[in-house]
Every structure is written in structure tokens, then in C-alpha cells.
Amino acid sequence: MPINKKINRLLQYRSVLLRLQDLGFGTVFSYTLGKEVGVTAEQVRKDFSKFGIKGNKKGGYNINELIHTLGDIFHKDHLHKVILIGIGNIGTAILNYKGFRENMIEIVAGFDIDPVKYKKKYTVPVYPMEKIDEVINEYGVKTAIIAVPGIAAQEVCNRLTNAGINSILNISPAVLKVPPGVIIQNIQIGNALESLIYQTINLDE
């Protein structure tokens, strides 16, 4: 149930490594990698150790190998198909985000209740809600992003889980109830901002 911090760190290592690779570096030390991500070198080595990732004593880690191994762990050998419900401002931002494809994630379709959206030109087709089941079956989609207003989120969520979706990224402010077995991850900007403001006020802690 607790969102796996280790997984998040590994993903961050990977994204830093891709940047370092781009810059032409061949190897990296745990210390450097940790500094980039904001964790200690021990943390980096420990994380790698858990996944059987080996470096070279004194020589650090080979960046190409490391990216390859992390790619295996995250199954970056094929595209992961995702659907997006709600093509409002946030939904559109997500549709336009280039970073997904680079990381082997593909949004295969968008859905919205507003017919205007079906005609507009997006990078992927946008359909009415009624077509959700069809698309899920056709593409074998397992993961969905909910970007509708809070008030509509639970209904959309039910529809998705009924259609066989087993993991949901919820970007609406609603707290969603899902059947057992369905994984849900919430991104609540309002909550994050309130938490940040609290920390700002109580800087001493």
C-alpha cells in the first residue's frame, strides 16, 4: 500500500543517468548519482544491491549497463499503453507532454464528455466516454489517468475498474474508492501546496 520510495528513487537514478549518458559520461560514482538525486551514496549502493546491480570497485558504475539494467527492471523494452480520461487543461497538458514516449509510455486515447474535443486535433484520438470499454479491450490497457473534475471522478473510476483497469493515476482532487486489487496513486496539487505552506510556516521542524 505505501508508495514504494525505492522504486521512485530508481526511476530518478535512471533519469539522471540518461542525462549523464547524453552528456557523454561513461561511468558514475554512487556519490555523484546520489548528489544529483538528493540522497546519500550509501542509499544508492543499497538500492542497487537490492536489485543485484553491481558496480566496479574504484571504477564506479558503467552508465550504459546501468541504464540497460534499470530498463529491464522497468520493462522499458516495450511501450506501456495508457488511457487518459478528461481533456481539460490538465488533461491537455498531459497529452502534450513529450516525456512519456521517451520513457516507453504511450497514451493510446483520450476521453471526454465534451463533443468539441472529438473534433479538435490532438496527438491522439479523443473519444466519448461510451468508447472506454472498447478501447481498453482493443489495446489491452491496464492503466488509466483520471484528469476529470473532482465531482465526476468517482463515476469515471467505477467505469474504469468495471472495464478491467487495474491501476489508476488520479489527478483529480477527489479521494477515490477502488475495489481490492486495484492500485491507485493520487497526485493532489492542492494537498501538496497546503503541506508545503505548513512546512514554510513551521521552518524550525
> What, of DNA, its own copies, none, does residue 18 touch, CB below 5 to 8 Å by kind?
none
> What, of DNA, its own copies, none, does residue 41 touch, CB below 5 to 8 Å by kind?
DNA
The piece of 41-49, 115-123, 128-136, 167-175 that touches DNA (CB under 7 A) is 41-49
Site string for DNA, 91-130 (x = CB under 7 A): ----------------------------------------
Q: Contact at 8 Å (CB) between 110 and 84?
A: yes
Cβ burial, residue 27 (10 Å; 0-12/13-18/19+): middle
State the number of binding residues for its own copies (CB under 8 A): 57
Strands 143-146 and 80-85: parallel
DSSP state of 18: H
The position carrying cell 492500485 is 183
Give the shortest CB-56-to-its own copies separation in angstroms.
Answer: 26
Site for DNA in 53-92 (CB under 7 A): 53-61
Got the DSSP string for 121-185? --SS-EE-GGGHHHHHHHHT--EEEE-S-HHHHHHHHHHHHHTT--EEEE-SSS-----TT-EEE
Give the shortest CB-129-to-its own copies separation in angstroms.
Answer: 20
30-105-157-6 Cα dihedral, nearest 10 degrees: -10
Site for its own copies in 99-158 (CB under 8 A): 99-100, 103, 105, 142-143, 145, 150
Of the candidate residues 45, 69, 84, 95, the single one contacting DNA (CB under 7 A) = 45
Give the shortest CB-2-to-DNA separation in angstroms.
Answer: 7
The position carrying cell 468517482 is 154
Strands of 126-127's sheet, edge to edge? 126-127, 105-111, 80-85, 143-146, 167-170, 183-186
Residue 35 binds DNA (CB under 7 A) = no
CA nearest neighbour of 173 among 155, 187, 163: 187
Binding site for DNA (CB under 7 A): 5-6, 29-31, 39-43, 45-46, 48-49, 53-61
Positions that interact with its own copies (CB under 8 A): 1, 3-4, 7-8, 11-12, 15-16, 36-38, 73-75, 80, 82, 88-90, 92-94, 96-97, 99-100, 103, 105, 142-143, 145, 150, 166-169, 171, 173, 175, 183, 185, 187, 189-201, 203
